[in-house]
Amino acid sequence: MFHSGMPVYGSDFIDRKQHLAKFNTFIKNNQHIMIKAPRRYGKTSLVVHLFELHQYNKIYVDIKRATSLQSLAEQIINEAYKFVGVEGIIQKAKESISHLFKQLKTTLTIDITVAELTIETLEKNEKQLLDEVEFFLYAVDLVEIIAKKQNINIKFAFDEFQDILNIADKKILDQLRSVIQHHRNVTYIFLGSIESVMNKIFSSKASPFFHFARIIALDGLNIEELKVFCEEFFVKQQISYDQFLFSVIDYLEGHPFYTMKTLQSVYYKVLEEDKDTIQKDDCIEALTIALFETKSYLDEVLEKIKQKKHHHSVIWHLANGKKNKTIDSPTLYKTYKSLEDMGYIKKRERGEYYITDIFLKILLQQNSDIALIEEKIEFSGLV
């Protein structure tokens, strides 16, 4: 099936054969990695799928969802204790420390001194005698302690890692690095979609995370793999299609989310209209639907771009393949760099820039406001 919205795994996952093999080599060999990609490129799907495929011992936390370092720490402690057969340790500690202690003494598969320290830490935290940074660092260290005692390697994914700077002071990077650099039984996977921040954290010499992880940029889906997936799916459903469907796949440049959204719309349309053939018009309509379903997000992106000087004009010219005569080269270069840092454009091998978000590009190419209101989109270059 074609799914859009939630991360995909299992049989919905389109192979990414090369990426998977490469990422797995690192993860298997306990090499910390940082995966960066624009929004909706399939970072989370990739990691979740890899974890499932190889049955790794894993912890996954999404920092975007954490409201504080404290709640993040609690989540990590809960996850860590699952490896020694204890579920919901935080909740149990909140209910009754003495009960919990008794239970741990009888059921725990590791050294009770580890549990004693956890209980002491949870007690202090409950009484607000512990600074939340200390509590968080304790939680992270606990993962290593448990992994070591169990003689396992835990793969620990921090999704939307850059958001840690929204819930903690930037000193947290130094503090975290000084704890995790000693870990031998944990492999860290950092995911992030705000490239400028991820770059600052992992590629800037001044950052404590400089050289800590292998940096990998995730590209779009492989077009050939996509076509095979699509073909197998429609053959199975006994639905035939105009070859134009493959032109649409090419046109979407392997963007995972937009491609899935479009294919899903095509499929639903055929189902709704009880047809057994996909025609060119169905494809165009599906593309339009997919684009409009994403439009509020795209409008937000445009708002952000417009807040910075020259950015809108530069990206508009790029989308429309026009030369920008109004700004000088140094300014143009600086603006390109900034748009690249924001994750909206990238450089090709030959040095020219392109827009990473194909729907954003299409939206920038529309030159009739009324047509846009009437939801008539011109897909330039789609033949």
Ligand X SMILES: Nc1ncnc2c1ncn2[C@@H]1O[C@H](COP(=O)(O)OP(=O)(O)OP(=O)(O)O)[C@@H](O)[C@H]1O
**Residues within the interface to ligand X (CB under 6 A):** 3-8, 12-14, 16, 37, 39-45, 193, 256-257, 260
For the beta carbon of residue 99, count every other beta carbon within 10 angstroms: 11
Residues with Cβ within 8 Å of 320's Cβ and at least 6 positions away in sequence, in order, are 364, 365
Residue nearest to ligand X (CB): 42
Tell me which of Mg ion, ligand X, none is bound by residue 258, counting a contact when its beta carbon lies within the kind-specific cut-off of 5 to 8 angstroms: none
Beta strands in the chain (DSSP E): 33-36, 57-62, 154-159, 186-192, 214-217, 240-241, 277-278, 345-347, 353-355
Tell me which of ligand X, Mg ion, none is bound by residue 262, counting a contact when its beta carbon lies within the kind-specific cut-off of 5 to 8 angstroms: none
First to last CA, the chain: 26
Rounded to an integer, what distance in angstroms lies between the CA atom of residue 19 and that of residue 43?
11
Tell me which of Mg ion, ligand X, none is bound by residue 41, counting a contact when its beta carbon lies within the kind-specific cut-off of 5 to 8 angstroms: ligand X
Tell me which of ligand X, Mg ion, none is bound by residue 14, counting a contact when its beta carbon lies within the kind-specific cut-off of 5 to 8 angstroms: ligand X
**By the rule CB under 5 A, 162 interacts with Mg ion:** no
Rounded to an integer, what distance in angstroms lies between the CA atom of residue 352 and that of residue 343?
15
Rounded to an integer, what distance in angstroms lies between the CA atom of residue 45 and that of residue 249?
20
Sheet holding 214-217, edge to edge: 57-62, 154-159, 186-192, 33-36, 214-217
For ligand X, the closer of residues 84 and 290 by Cβ is 290
Distance of CA 373 to the CA centre of its chain: 32
Rounded to an integer, what distance in angstroms lies between the CA atom of residue 381 and that of residue 354?
15
Tell me which of ligand X, Mg ion, none is bound by residue 13, counting a contact when its beta carbon lies within the kind-specific cut-off of 5 to 8 angstroms: ligand X
Residue nearest to Mg ion (CB): 44
Work out how close the CB of 47 gets to ligand X at its nearest, in angstroms, rounded to a whole number: 8
Closest CA to 377 of 315, 313, 286: 286
Distance of CA 325 to the CA centre of its chain: 37
Work out how close the CB of 261 gets to ligand X at its nearest, in angstroms, rounded to a whole number: 7
For ligand X, the closer of residues 6 and 373 by Cβ is 6
Work out how close the CB of 307 gets to ligand X at its nearest, in angstroms, rounded to a whole number: 20
For ligand X, the closer of residues 8 and 245 by Cβ is 8
For Mg ion, the closer of residues 44 and 185 by Cβ is 44
For Mg ion, the closer of residues 4 and 44 by Cβ is 44
- 344 within 8 A of 355, measured Cβ to Cβ: yes
Work out how close the CB of 185 gets to ligand X at its nearest, in angstroms, rounded to a whole number: 26
Work out how close the CB of 286 gets to Mg ion at its nearest, in angstroms, rounded to a whole number: 24
Rounded to an integer, what distance in angstroms lies between the CA atom of residue 374 and that of residue 99?
64
For the beta carbon of residue 23, count every other beta carbon within 10 angstroms: 22
Tell me which of ligand X, Mg ion, none is bound by residue 381, counting a contact when its beta carbon lies within the kind-specific cut-off of 5 to 8 angstroms: none
Overall size of the chain counted in residues? 383
Work out how close the CB of 71 gets to ligand X at its nearest, in angstroms, rounded to a whole number: 19
Work out how close the CB of 130 gets to ligand X at its nearest, in angstroms, rounded to a whole number: 31
Work out how close the CB of 43 gets to Mg ion at its nearest, in angstroms, rounded to a whole number: 5
Tell me which of Mg ion, ligand X, none is bound by residue 39, counting a contact when its beta carbon lies within the kind-specific cut-off of 5 to 8 angstroms: ligand X
For Mg ion, the closer of residues 44 and 78 by Cβ is 44
For Mg ion, the closer of residues 44 and 153 by Cβ is 44
Residues numbered 23 to 52 that lie near Mg ion (CB under 5 A) are 44
For ligand X, the closer of residues 37 and 167 by Cβ is 37
Q: In the complex, which residues of this chain contact Mg ion (CB under 5 A)? A: 44
